[in-house]
Structure 1
Amino acid sequence: MAHILNTQHLLTTSGKKRNDRDDEDGVSTVAKKSSLMACEADPAVALASIRHEFGEHGGVNMSIEASATFTVMEPDTMRRMFAGELGPENDFFVYSRHFNPTVLNLSRQMAALEGTQAAYCTSSGMAAISSVLLQLCSSGGHVVASKTLYGGTHALLSHFLPRTCNITTSFVDITDHGAVADAIVEGRTQVLYFESMANPTLTVADTPELSRIAHEKGVAVVVDNTFTPMVLSPAKFGADVVVHSISKFISGGADIIAGAVCGSEKLVKGMMDLRGGSLMLLGPTMNAKVAFELSERIPHLGLRMKEHSRRAQVYAERMRELGMKVIYPGLTDHPQHKVATEMVNREYGYGGLLSIDMETEERANKLMTYLQNATQFGLMAVSLGYYETLMSCSGSSTSSELDPSQKAAAGISPGLIRMSVGYAGTLEQKWTQFEKAFIRISRNATAISVTRTGRGGRSGTRSGSDRVFRIFGYFGIEV
């Protein structure tokens, strides 16, 4: 069942209203809060429905509240804030490690994006992930997790948490629902953790079914939705907590490190508790200036995701025509294509990531070298969600924390290239650059003739008629 999102239709200033006495309402008569209960099918609608913060002097953009600490007009107000009687929901702030108005505004946007009651933004994606797991799990606890995860998360679960907290993890094939159910130890397992679209194999998790299995056994479901903001809405399908590395698609500029925890009001308040909250006590605080930057980017996230996804779909289809082993959930031969189709917010496609399996690291590196240095198709770099295409050999980079047997179990071959498809330049311009690199590196091997059928209705200057390319067997292409 979809969670209900509390949104605020409110136009107000970001500067705190001050009367002669502290005002417990924290808002002026003109800016009374009016709650709208909504769970929008389109995340863009939810984002457009939340309260808009004006600047302190009426600017269309909110002011940056750069203060680390905040004043009160009466001594008793500070006591009441520390007692939990007054808080940010009433416009009372005490210290920016606890809550900051600018960061709180971004948190509202993240909650709207994911359709959750609340959210809290952190200094990084790993800060969000580790804080959630430490909040939900106790010493001696147990996690069931997908065996295919971002390398940093895998290392956290495999090494750090067992060593420091005696929290152990069973890694399973997240598509084998029987194995997931069997791995849950009732009374001990506290979290089922997976990525909505796995890094880097792009395995799509059946969130509704996995949530059902976990909830029947009293286990919380935590989903990393970094790869698919706007595209997938895990909370709508039963996830209790959604975590993000905002550094990726949401930022879009490859210039900010940030994260977010999205969940119930009870969860966020618990994580911010002065005595036992993981966020409050570990202190992964987001800088207010970073929060301001991100709050200005989220409104056009939907437009960016549509273009990321559109190009990824086209490239995946054309790469498959070339005989390449390409993995993309939008392709009908993807193992979870049907599952993905049932869950995606259709307007945003299947996401901006695709993977190419070149089988060996040598082949993968050669292709990426030509794509960057010879044709300028993209950049060899980790991360994703940038306006330029980014590519990396996952086994030796973002999944390098896994040992060879773990990589094999996760389906990560030595030559698997993860490609974050950008939107710089035109689609046809970039595709021509890819084709040139593809043909050029193939000249090092035995030539074979490949007849390629034209693409009907293709835009651009190229003809849709049949063309013959001299493509070579370097890739082990089946024709």
Structure 2
Amino acid sequence: MAETKTPQALVCNGKKRAQQNELNGNHDFILVKNAMVPPSSVWEDPAAALAAARHEFGEHGGVNMSIEASAMFTVMEPENMGIPVVEPETMRRILSGELRPDRDFFTYSRHLNPTVMNLGRQMAALEGTEAAYCTASGISAISTVILQLCGSGGHVVASMTLCGGTHALLSHFLRRTCNIKTTFVDIGDLDAVKNSIVEGQTKLLFFESLANPTLAVANIPELSRIAHEKGVTVVVDNTFAPMILSPARLGADVVVHSITKFICGGGDIIAGAVCGPASLVTSMMDTQYGALLLLGPTMNAKVAHELSERIPHLGLRMKEHSRRAMAYATNIKKLGLKVIYPGLEEHPQHELLKSMANKDYGFGGILCVDMETEEKANRFMQHLQNCSQFGLMAVSLGYYETLMSCSGSTTSGEMDPEEKAVAGISPGLVRISAGYLGTFSQKWSQFEKAFYKMQESGGLFHKN
């Protein structure tokens, strides 16, 4: 496991304006010492880190923080600030970066916003990284990190099993627009990963902690070791496993998220995050070369406020998602269906995930049922949604209702048939995001109702 670090991140110091003696010092405005959690020796798990993070109060002492909804920020009158400079000079110093957000100087919310910064602090605590910056979507977090780390003509080694949008970004868009080339490998074959890295050319290794949709588990410590031996940065998409896995604690350099999924939990917000070293996040906000600042995937402050109120109960939700998924996988297996779930002992990476996972959060809220053909998969989902109301056919995940999709024709639809076959994505693979609405006995009876009705109407289920 990688050496532990004290999470420190984007912060706003909570003061209306800084005093004169605070206006000089470290120009790395992303990092403010002691703003996050106690020394890493007390870091137990993500919930403990979140609880130890600084609490942001509202403007008038409210237990919830205020929303700073302004797109732009005024320069305060000198007499109100106690700073012996004229107002235009203060503006110049802000724009040049001499007066910084960590001292409560802001200019424009595309750059930094106090409410979005607070959510970044929470995400840094969640993932155990020095800093975090929240974006308008998960794919914007992924694309800006790759662009920042690779530049034109860079080389990426990536898992062959990725979310369809990420796969398309790496295989087509970045190659065409930036000449960034990607070698896709079986991330479980450590020798293949090592042999695919070209020293001096490969800039980063990219993979998902739990693969979408196959649920293959990445050996994060070993993959990180291999990459670091060759000077390659490790970027891990941890969307499927917040709280469950902490990639930065296992050796990864950067963790990205589609906050849209489990972290949001309500299926009503699109958002993302980049979690990593303060130096990286600072560079991504550079006014001349920063991918985050110049490409502008800005998160709305009202969205950040909404999300910051959901993160405190993420741990409880993930435990229940995992508990339900495990129960569904166990029961569905007994019906004779082919189930893929890393919590089952027969899953090839069950012990690996168990060895890496944070205690008590389970094995994740996603399971798959392989119906072999797309026709059977669609009939299966239609019965579950329309016959018994077990779940909803929808392409996302992490919702309080159970969601189902046939991955090959939806979330992995950007991949061609050969790519899907190599990645192990069956045409009939149904990805199920286990919700927690209702009692388990109620939902299981709905599943059984659909199962037996479908058996009666055509017997399309394949039994092992």
TM beyond 0.5: yes
**Structure 2 Cα separation of the partners of residues 131 and 7 of structure 1:** 21
Q: What pairs up with 1:320-469 in 2 under 5 angstroms?
A: 320-445=333-458
**Structure 2 Cα separation of the partners of residues 356 and 80 of structure 1:** 58
**Structure 2 Cα separation of the partners of residues 329 and 25 of structure 1:** 51
Q: Does 2:163 align with 1:150? A: yes
**Structure 1 Cα separation of the partners of residues 18 and 183 of structure 2:** 55
2:117 to 86, 100, 104: 104
Q: Does 2:193 align with 1:198? A: no
**Is the alpha carbon distance of 1:34 and 1:284 closer, same or farther for their aligned partners in structure 2, counting shifts above 3 Å?**
closer
Whether the 8 Å contact between 2:17 and 2:103 is mirrored in structure 1 is no
The structure, 1 or 2, with the larger RCO (C-alpha pairs under 8 Å, 6+ apart) is 2
2:135 to 119, 122, 139: 122
The structure carrying a bigger strand percent of its residues is 1
Q: Does 2:66 align with 1:63? A: yes
Whether the 8 Å contact between 2:35 and 2:54 is mirrored in structure 1 is no
**Structure 2 Cα separation of the partners of residues 20 and 263 of structure 1:** 30
Amino acid at match of 1:475: F
Paired residues, number: 443
Structure 1 partner of 2:461: 475
**Structure 2 Cα separation of the partners of residues 13 and 79 of structure 1:** 21
Structure 1 partner of 2:79: none
Q: Does 2:4 align with 1:6? A: no
**CA offsets 1:298-320 (integer angstroms, 9 cap, x no match):** 00000000000000001101111
Post-superposition offset of 1:436:
1.0
Whether the 8 Å contact between 1:13 and 1:53 is mirrored in structure 2 is no
**TM-score using structure 2 length:** 0.92
**Is the alpha carbon distance of 1:475 and 1:70 closer, same or farther for their aligned partners in structure 2, counting shifts above 3 Å?**
same
Amino acid at match of 1:17: K
**Structure 2 Cα separation of the partners of residues 365 and 314 of structure 1:** 23
Whether the 8 Å contact between 2:17 and 2:105 is mirrored in structure 1 is no
**Structure 2 Cα separation of the partners of residues 250 and 2 of structure 1:** 26
Q: Does 2:295 align with 1:296? A: no
Structure 2 partner of 1:224: 237
Whether the 8 Å contact between 1:125 and 1:258 is mirrored in structure 2 is yes
Amino acid at match of 2:70: S
Whether the 8 Å contact between 1:13 and 1:55 is mirrored in structure 2 is no
**Structure 2 Cα separation of the partners of residues 276 and 19 of structure 1:** 28
**CA offsets 1:50-105 (integer angstroms, 9 cap, x no match):** 11111111111111001111122333332222332222222221111111000000
Q: Does 2:194 align with 1:181? A: yes
Q: What pairs up with 1:77-96 in 2 under 5 angstroms?
A: 77-96=90-109
Post-superposition offset of 1:243:
0.3
Whether the 8 Å contact between 2:4 and 2:40 is mirrored in structure 1 is no
2:51 to 37, 48, 53: 48
Post-superposition offset of 1:2:
3.6
Post-superposition offset of 1:19:
7.3
**Structure 2 Cα separation of the partners of residues 172 and 13 of structure 1:** 44
SS of 1:401's partner is coil
Structure 2 partner of 1:134: 147
Whether the 8 Å contact between 2:340 and 2:367 is mirrored in structure 1 is yes
Whether the 8 Å contact between 1:140 and 1:168 is mirrored in structure 2 is yes
**Structure 2 Cα separation of the partners of residues 370 and 430 of structure 1:** 14
**Is the alpha carbon distance of 1:25 and 1:106 closer, same or farther for their aligned partners in structure 2, counting shifts above 3 Å?**
farther
Structure 2 partner of 1:461: none
Post-superposition offset of 1:150:
0.2
Q: Does 2:37 align with 1:38? A: no
**Is the alpha carbon distance of 1:118 and 1:432 closer, same or farther for their aligned partners in structure 2, counting shifts above 3 Å?**
same
Whether the 8 Å contact between 2:13 and 2:103 is mirrored in structure 1 is no
Amino acid at match of 1:47: L
Post-superposition offset of 1:33:
6.3
SS of 2:7's partner is strand
Post-superposition offset of 1:443:
1.3
Post-superposition offset of 1:439:
1.1
C-alpha RMSD over aligned residues? 1.9
Whether the 8 Å contact between 2:323 and 2:362 is mirrored in structure 1 is yes
**Structure 1 Cα separation of the partners of residues 120 and 391 of structure 2:** 32
Post-superposition offset of 1:475:
2.1
Post-superposition offset of 1:38:
2.3
Post-superposition offset of 1:220:
0.3
Whether the 8 Å contact between 1:127 and 1:284 is mirrored in structure 2 is yes
**Structure 2 Cα separation of the partners of residues 432 and 375 of structure 1:** 9
